[in-house]
Amino acid sequence: MKNDKTDDHDRQRFRLDKWLWAARFYKTRALAGEEVERGRITVNGQLAKPSREVRVGDRLVLRHGDVTRTVDVLGLSGTRGPAPEAQALYAETPDSVAERLKAAEARRLGAEPAQSLDHGRPTKRDRRQLVDWQRWSASVDDE
């Protein structure tokens, strides 16, 4: 019988939703499970279920909105710890980092939606000037 920790580590498997939560990709395990069920996460190129077992060496592709991250699983944990420990569980591929930085730069340089508006919401005074009407009054109608 071996007590080698590497053998135990290789045999350890965790559910995908639990690993995503422990690696701090999602705030709750339920959110991680929903994202997996919606098909936004693939494991080794295949769609997965939340109960899929993650192993060291698996490649995960995660889509958060219009940002896609590709990560390799380096470690396993079923408990959510501090951010530095969570970041040690995976390594993002260089291509993924470059794409993510490129998308962030494009968002930063993109036009501000509020600047495309000529005017903001009209003030009470502006609304009065927009409408060509006389103030209604009971005395005006009686005449």
Assigned domain for 83 exists: yes
Q: Are 47 and 61 in contact (CB under 8 A)?
A: no
Q: Residue 56 corresponds to which amino acid?
A: V
pLDDT attached to residue 121: 79
Assigned domain for 37 exists: yes
Assigned domain for 116 exists: no
Assigned domain for 39 exists: yes
Cβ–Cβ contacts within 10 Å for residue 70, how many?
Answer: 18
pLDDT attached to residue 32: 92
Assigned domain for 138 exists: no
Residue 50, domain extent: 1-103
Please identify every stretch of the chain with a pLDDT value under 50, giving residue numbers as ranges: 1-4, 6-9
Domain with residue 39: its CATH number is 3.10.290.10
Assigned domain for 63 exists: yes
pLDDT attached to residue 38: 92
C-alpha 12/C-alpha 123 separation (Å) is 63
Q: Both tokens of residue 4?
A: 């080698």
pLDDT attached to residue 75: 92
pLDDT attached to residue 1: 44
Assigned domain for 108 exists: no
pLDDT attached to residue 132: 59
Instruction: State the total domains in the chain.
Output: 1
pLDDT attached to residue 2: 47
